[in-house]
């Protein structure tokens, strides 16, 4: 079976379990920080995804959020999995969350799916073959004006420490754009940039499983993904700026300028 097809099957199965569990979460535990939640549903979803992927490709490596590097087979292929992106939303029954599965060969992202089970939105991309939402080709927005841009961001779990000027950057972007949203699922933030809904997305301290599939979606929809100084991003980057390309330079300028804002915390 094609990589993308097995990833889609796994994401749909996981989506079913997550949707059935919405509003019924029994056990919430915390990772290192009080704000970083994990539920039994994150773990169940991850198990299902890994089982399905390994049943088809038993020799591939896996990097998954809840179990880490659960198989180290020294394969050149690696599945990168976020079994539930948007756990905080999920635990509050806010239906904005997704499942993200990317496939790497060496450093190259070959394929990715981001699935939003609440809307049955299946975002898919394969390298050089374009990005799709439910089989409809996606393209980034054509907007060139930051003042008319709808942007999105997210905050890391240690936001109260204001890492990498994230509050100042939020202020700057809010002042300069049409509006800034904060959805709570980084994989969907990327997908909505690919779909031309958001013109740009930035965030710091994301993890490879938040990034892998979404980064490919944006690139394959003709968008741009870099760090905050314009260098091409990979999934291990701690600064992510994804945009339609037209407002990219302006966003880089504003992200830099934001460092001059003084706020009292
Ligand atoms: C989180 C979401 C959120 C982002 C956080 C991520 P999780 O992932 O993607 O939008 O702001 O940085 O950690 O923990 O719900 O999988
Ligand atoms: Ca995540
Ligand atoms: Ca997660």
pLDDT digits (tens, 9 = 90+) for 104-142: 999 999 999 999 999 999 999 999 999 999 989 999 999
Same domain, 157 and 224: yes
Looking at residue 35, its pLDDT comes to 65
Boundary of a domain, candidates 103, 137, 171: 137
Looking at residue 31, its pLDDT comes to 73
Give nearest CA residue, ligand 1 atom 12.
156
Beta bridge partners of 203: 240
- Lowest mean pLDDT segment, chosen from 19-28, 156-165, 174-183: 19-28
Ligand nearest to the CA of residue 181, numbered in listed order: 1
The average pLDDT across 172-197 equals 98
Pocket of ligand 1 from Cβ distances under 6 Å: 82, 85-87, 154-156, 184-186, 203, 206, 210
Looking from the CA of residue 189, the nearest atom of ligand 1 is 10
Looking at residue 137, its pLDDT comes to 98
Question: What is the value of pTM for the model shown?
Answer: 0.96
User: Among candidates 216, 224, 240, which has minimal Cα distance to 101?
Assistant: 216
Looking from the CA of residue 209, the nearest atom of ligand 1 is 16
Give nearest CA residue, ligand 1 atom 5.
156
Distance CA 246, CA 146 (A): 9
Distance CA 26, CA 39 (A): 8
Is 70 exceeded by the pLDDT of residue 19? yes
Q: Exposed/middle/buried for 94, CB within 10 Å: 0-12, 13-18, 19+?
A: middle
Same domain, 185 and 73: no
Looking at residue 71, its pLDDT comes to 63
Looking at residue 256, its pLDDT comes to 98
Same domain, 133 and 163: no
Residue 16: strand, helix, or coil: helix
Cα(33) to centroid of ligand 1, in Å? 13
Same domain, 220 and 157: yes
**How far is C-alpha 53 from the chain's CA centre?**
20
Ligand nearest to the CA of residue 42, numbered in listed order: 3
Same domain, 113 and 159: no
Distance CA 58, CA 160 (A): 42
């Amino acid at each position: 079976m094609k990589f993308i097809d097995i990833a889609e099957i796994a994401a749909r199965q996981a989506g079913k379990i997550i949707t059935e569990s919405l509003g019924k979460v029994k056990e919430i535990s915390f990772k290192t920080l009080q704000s970083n939640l994990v539920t039994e549903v994150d773990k169940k979803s991850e198990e299902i995804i890994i089982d399905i992927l390994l049943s088809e490709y038993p020799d591939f490596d896996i990097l998954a959020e809840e179990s880490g590097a659960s198989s180290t087979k020294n394969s050149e292929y690696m599945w990168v999995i976020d079994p539930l992106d948007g756990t905080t939303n999920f635990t509050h029954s806010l239906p904005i969350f997704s499942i993200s599965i990317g496939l790497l060969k060496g450093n190259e992202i070959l394929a990715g799916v981001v699935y939003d089970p609440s809307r049955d939105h299946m975002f898919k991309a394969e390298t050089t073959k374009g990005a799709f939402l439910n089989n409809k080709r996606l393209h980034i927005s054509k907007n060139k004006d930051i003042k008319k841009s709808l942007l999105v961001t997210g905050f890391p779990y240690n936001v109260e420490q204001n890492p990498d000027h994230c509050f100042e950057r939020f202020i700057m972007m809010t002042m300069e754009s049409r509006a800034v949203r904060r959805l709570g699922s980084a994989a969907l933030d990327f997908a909505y940039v690919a779909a031309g809904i958001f013109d740009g997305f930035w965030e710091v301290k994301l993890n490879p499983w938040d990034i892998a599939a979404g980064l490919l979606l944006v690139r394959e929809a003709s968008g741009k993904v870099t760090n905050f100084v314009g260098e091409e991003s990979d999934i291990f980057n701690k600064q992510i700026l994804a945009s339609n390309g037209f407002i990219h330079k302006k966003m880089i300028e504003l992200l830099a300028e934001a460092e001059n804002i003084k706020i009292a915390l």
